[in-house]
């Protein structure tokens, strides 16, 4: 694949800024001795709007941050430049949901179907990669914000364990769920190369709160058979036909390649369903950051519901068992206990990695706000703080589209109906699977992703 001119990105509206200093950086790099070049020498890299670049705004889609340029580069930007990468553009972001729209830069579209969203909140990165305008980009992930756009746009992406990469000088909300950095790229090897470069002593020196854990090459390059568990549904949102087919296809390829693969039941789906209000309540804290700012149309209904008069909120809280207050107060303890239960179950099954559906195909513009809970296929691993990545494995077929007509969902409510409407009309769009590992096992997660990518590619190549 080759890069295309940036002019091609205008159609999908994925850029927020051009980093014109990249020209000077490129000339300076050319003067370096070979021994001084970093792992990313000469690689152009795009950055989600949230990353601080000296002299440029980091708006996060909020008008209150306009015309407030960063005084210096953020830690990750400094490390990337020291490794020879050339940041050249900043990309669009959503106001917390995954429709990638904000009142400053507008709506980002999916290059493969302009009626569909690119996903979010790192939607500008996904669209630019799909358009061929970048080969490597940096996003952030609070509830699937790297994996959703990667999945919708046919790219690879990974969210790392919280605090393994620095988030210093990058906007991230103060909430229980940790926002993490992570790369998006055309292939898994590019993700691995990026993490090799970032997981350096240099990053630890710049941000001592990040542990110095260099990339473990021996784990990534291992070829030992893996013990893989997989599930086809979280028991909360019925997967689309293409989501279910992607997991079945991938599990079969892995089994045929000699890995131990076992089907699991819904992964704690009943417990998640019972606590759905609890585990999603952290979003409320994030939405409060809109106070005094312009609210994007994609967010209006959600934010309005959070701005109800206190008297009405108290009445609704009484109806909902005081969900908005007591649940928030016990959320940290719940997450800690649930993480330990999840790990204990993982250990009891003697798993190396876990395979699950991603969230796809791409939704029609405007639909993410109607089906927020459906992102829990990905958001679960933000709550658990596990490394998780997505790899495209297939595309939506006409048969998938026919089967979608019979989709009813588990609850047969307006959310299930909205999900069916959101994913229809997607023949030819990419479908991914999600690969998960235990905390601090990014190299194993990438190794699993690489195995999936290799097997899928070999299946697609003519014999």
Geometric angle at alpha carbon 259, from 258 and 263, rounded to 5°: 130
DSSP letter string, 109-122: EETTEEEEE--SSS
User: If you ran DSSP here, which 8-state letter would residue 179 be given?
Assistant: P
User: At 436, which helix (H) or strand (E)?
Assistant: strand 430-436
Outline where 224-296 has alpha helix (H).
241-256, 269-274, 276-280, 282-287
CA–CA separation, 154 and 358 (whole Å): 12
Q: CB–CB of 119/148 below 8 Å? A: yes
C-alpha distances out from residue 391 to 43, 124, 351, 445, 456, Å: 22, 18, 20, 11, 10
Catalytic residues: 48, 121, 145
| Burial zone of 21 (CB within 10 Å; 0-12 exposed, 13-18 middle, 19+ buried) | middle
CA–CA separation, 121 and 25 (whole Å): 28
SS3 track for 85-98: CEEEEEECCCCCCC
Supply φ then ψ for residue 460, to 5 degrees: -80, -25
Give yes or no for a cis peptide into 361 (omega within 30° of 0). yes
Residue 405: closest CA among 291, 240, 268, 294: 240
CA–CA separation, 81 and 242 (whole Å): 40
Supply φ then ψ for residue 148, to 5 degrees: -65, -55
Residue 391: closest CA among 442, 457, 458: 457
3-state SS class at 8: helix
CA 164 to chain centre: 16
CA–CA separation, 155 and 220 (whole Å): 20
Supply φ then ψ for residue 413, to 5 degrees: -105, -170
CA–CA separation, 15 and 13 (whole Å): 6
């Amino acid at each position: 694949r080759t890069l295309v001119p940036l002019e091609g990105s205008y159609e999908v509206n994925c850029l927020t800024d051009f980093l014109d200093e990249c020209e000077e950086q490129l000339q300076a790099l050319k003067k370096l001795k070979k021994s001084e070049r970093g792992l990313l020498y000469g690689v152009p890299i795009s950055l989600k709007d949230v990353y601080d670049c000296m002299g440029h705004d980091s708006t996060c889609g909020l008008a209150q941050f306009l015309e407030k340029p960063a005084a210096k580069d953020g830690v990750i930007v400094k490390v990337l430049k020291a490794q020879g990468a050339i940041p050249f553009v900043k990309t669009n972001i959503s106001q917390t949901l995954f429709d990638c729209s904000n009142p400053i830069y507008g709506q980002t579209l999916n290059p493969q179907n302009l009626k569909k969203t690119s996903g979010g909140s790192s939607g500008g990165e996904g669209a630019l990669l799909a358009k061929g305008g970048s080969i490597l980009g940096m996003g952030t992930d609070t509830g699937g914000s790297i994996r959703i756009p990667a999945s919708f746009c046919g790219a690879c992406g990974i969210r790392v364990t919280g605090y393994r990469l620095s988030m210093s000088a990058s906007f991230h909300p103060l909430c229980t769920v940790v926002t993490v950095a992570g790369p998006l790229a055309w292939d898994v090897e590019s993700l691995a190369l990026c993490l090799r470069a970032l997981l350096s002593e240099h990053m630890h020196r710049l941000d001592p709160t990040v542990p110095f854990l260099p990339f473990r090459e021996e784990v990534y390059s291992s070829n030992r058979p893996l013990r893989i568990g997989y599930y086809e549904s979280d028991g909360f949102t019925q997967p689309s036909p293409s989501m279910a087919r992607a997991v079945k296809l991938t599990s079969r390829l892995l089994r045929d390649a000699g890995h131990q693969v076992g089907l699991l039941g819904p992964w704690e789906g009943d417990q998640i369903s019972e606590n759905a209000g609890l585990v999603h309540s952290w979003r409320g804290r994030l939405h409060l950051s809109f106070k005094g700012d312009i609210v994007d149309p994609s967010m209006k209904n959600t934010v309005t519901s959070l701005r109800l008069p206190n008297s009405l909120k108290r009445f609704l809280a009484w109806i909902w068992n005081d969900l908005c207050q007591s649940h928030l107060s016990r959320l940290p303890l719940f997450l800690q206990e649930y993480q330990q239960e999840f790990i204990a179950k993982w250990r009891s099954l003697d798993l190396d990695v876990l395979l699950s559906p991603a969230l796809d195909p791409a939704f029609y513009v405007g639909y993410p706000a109607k089906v927020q809970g459906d992102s829990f296929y990905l958001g679960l691993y933000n709550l658990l703080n596990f490394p998780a990545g997505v790899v495209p494995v297939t595309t939506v077929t006409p048969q998938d589209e026919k089967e979608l007509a019979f989709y009813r969902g588990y609850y047969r409510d307006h959310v299930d109906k909205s999900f069916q409407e959101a994913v229809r009309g997607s023949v030819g769009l990419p479908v991914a699977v999600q690969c998960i590992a235990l905390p601090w096992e990014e190299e194993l997660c990438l190794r699993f992703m690489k195995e999936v990518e290799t097997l899928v590619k070999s299946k697609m190549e003519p014999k």
